[in-house]
Structures are given as structure tokens and as C-alpha cells.
Amino acid sequence: MMAGAFDYFQFVLAPQIVIGLVLGVAVILVALGLTIIFGLLDVINMSHGEFYALGAFISVSLAALGVPFWLLLVLVPALMLPIGYAVERLLIQRVFHSPDRHVTTLLLTFGLALVLEDVFRLIWGPNPLRPETPIRGAIEVAGLFLPLYRVFMIGIGALIIIGTALIVYRTRIGAMVRAAAFDRNMAASLGVPVQLVYAGAFAFGVSLAGLAGVLLAPLYSVFPTMGRDFILMAFTVVIVGGMGSIAGAVVAGLFLTQVQAIASLYISPVWTDPIVFGIMVIMLMVRPQGLFGRLGHA
């Protein structure tokens, strides 16, 4: 009886939890950029999923040119920074001061998402691309086989998430970002270059999405609508965790992907999406501010 339960854990439950954990880290990486952009600029970036896809596409193309994976991890986010900066300065800034900024910025980024998705189709074609896994092999931990790349994903993902939180909450730049989110005018009069902070934070968020694209490309296929499929989950994580909260994104990301992983064991996998979105709707009904507070209020 005891052995049966342990076998069940080892061969059924534990692998599913690990799969959920990898997906969780991935979703948090995408949600992190989304939540920083929302917390600071109050902008729902509907094109965030397409920036994630862009990162994946660029990494596939550069890898085909012979650029090693380790270099991509630095190169792609660096390439995404000026793209994000330009998008903020050229597009978001134009409608940032309109009376209903929430709606206009949401619509503008929605339009951008449409354009980007079709541009991907134009450049890279509609069929899924599958890059090679940079780290092969698996290790065995307590009788559990873990593919090395997934272990690496969890590790580097955790590092990036902790690093981002440290930047936001422990550095001078992070303090400026939080000040600008808390009170734009006060921060500006104290000498915080608010415009630069806004564009910089947007670029940082976009670059995080690109990094998630590089990391996830070897696990899931790369195709034009990949951003659209993934962004729903990232939005759910941001809402449940509380828009603009890094800790919230982490907790909600881990929680929701575990719900997804476990639910697909006991109920059919096709029902995990309604469950996760159902949690989001209920959360919005009972506690729209999410589990944790906003970026500028913590």
C-alpha cells in the first residue's frame, strides 16, 4: 500500500509537478515584463506575447547562423532593448496623455500585436520551427528522470526572477522606477527622468519577454501565433497575482501552472484552460487588485 502510493508519486505525480514547474517559470518570465509595464505605465501591453515570439524567432535565426546558445541568452535580450525603447517612444508616448489612456494604449498594442504576428508569418513562414535542445541528457534524482534542459530552465529562470526583483527593490534605478510609479509628478520634480524611466522600463519588460522566448524555443515549437496562446496565461498570472506586483506574479504563476499540471492528471487536459481562466474571473470578481499590491505601493 505504502509502496503503491510512493510509486504513484514517483512516476505519475512528480513528473507532472516538474513539467508544471518549468511552465511556471516560463510564464512568470513573460508575466514579469507585463507586470512591470503595467505597474509603472498603467499600460496593458497586448503585444507582449508577440515580443516573446519575436525573441524566439530571432534566437532561432541566429542559432541557424551558428551563434551559440549561451551567447543568445545575452544577445537577444540586448537586441530587444532598443526595439522596446522605440515602441514606447514612438507609439505609447503618442497616446499616453489622452483622456482614456487605458483603452487607447490597450488598443494600440493590440494593433501592434496583429502587425507583428503577420510580419512573423511573412518572414519565417506559418509552419512551426523546432530548434535543437542546447543541453541534452537527463539526470536521475530519487528515481525521477529529469531532462537536463528543464532543470537548467528552472535554475536560470529563478535567477532571472530574483535578479529582476533585486533590481526593482534594491537598486537606485529600481527606486527611481518605483518613485515614478508611485507619483509621476513628484518623482519628476525630484529629478527622476520620468520619460527615460518609462521608456527604459518598457524596454526592460520587452527584453524579458524576448529572453523567455530564447529559453522556451527549444522546449516548445516556434510559430507565428505562439505569443497569442501564451499571453492568455501570462495575463491570468498577472491578474491573480496583482497587477504590478513581482511577488504576486511569482506566487500566482507557480500556483496556476501547478493547478494546470495536476488538473490535467485528474480531469482531462482539455479542461485546464477553462479552470485557469475561471480562477481569473473569480479573482477579478472578489479581489480585482489581486493577491498582492501594486509596484508603486509596496
Partner 1 sequence: MRDALTTSMRASHWLAALLVVFALITAAVGAAMNDTFYLRLATEALIFAGLALSVDILLGYTGLLSLGQALYFGLGAYISALTLMQVPSFWLALLVALASGLVLGLVGGFIALRVRGVYFALITFGMAQVIAKVIYNTRALGASDGMTGVPIIDVNLGITSISSASPAGFFLVVLAVTMVLYAIAAYLLDTPFGRLLIAIKANDRRVPFLGYKAPTLRLGSYVLAATIATVSGALYPMLRGFVSPELLFFSTSGNAVITVILGGVGTLVGALYGSILLTVLKSVIGSWTEHHLIIIGLLFMGAVIFFPQGLMGVIRPQVAKWLSYRWLSRGGKP
β pairing state of 138-141 and 144-147: antiparallel
* Cβ closest to partner 1, residue 131 vs residue 242: 242
* Cβ closest to partner 1, residue 6 vs residue 271: 271
* Cβ closest to partner 1, residue 64 vs residue 115: 115
* Cβ closest to partner 1, residue 20 vs residue 117: 117
Task: Give contact residues for partner 1 (rule: CB under 8 A).
Answer: 44, 91, 94-95, 98, 100, 102-104, 106-108, 110-115, 117-119, 121-122, 228, 232, 235-236, 239, 268, 270-271, 273-274, 277-278, 280-281, 284-285, 288
CB 36 within 8 A of CB 204: yes
Cell numbers given for 199? 521608456
Could you count the other beta carbons within 10 Å of the beta carbon of residue 272? 18
CB of 68 to partner 1, least distance (A): 33
CA distance linking residue 121 with residue 37, whole number of Å: 27
CB of 81 to partner 1, least distance (A): 22
Residues 6 or more apart whose Cβ sits within 8 Å of residue 83: 51, 54, 203, 206
CA distance linking residue 283 with residue 251, whole number of Å: 14
CB of 260 to partner 1, least distance (A): 13
CB of 45 to partner 1, least distance (A): 11
Cell numbers given for 269? 487536459
Q: Residue 253 is which amino acid?
A: G
* Cβ closest to partner 1, residue 13 vs residue 107: 107
CB of 259 to partner 1, least distance (A): 14
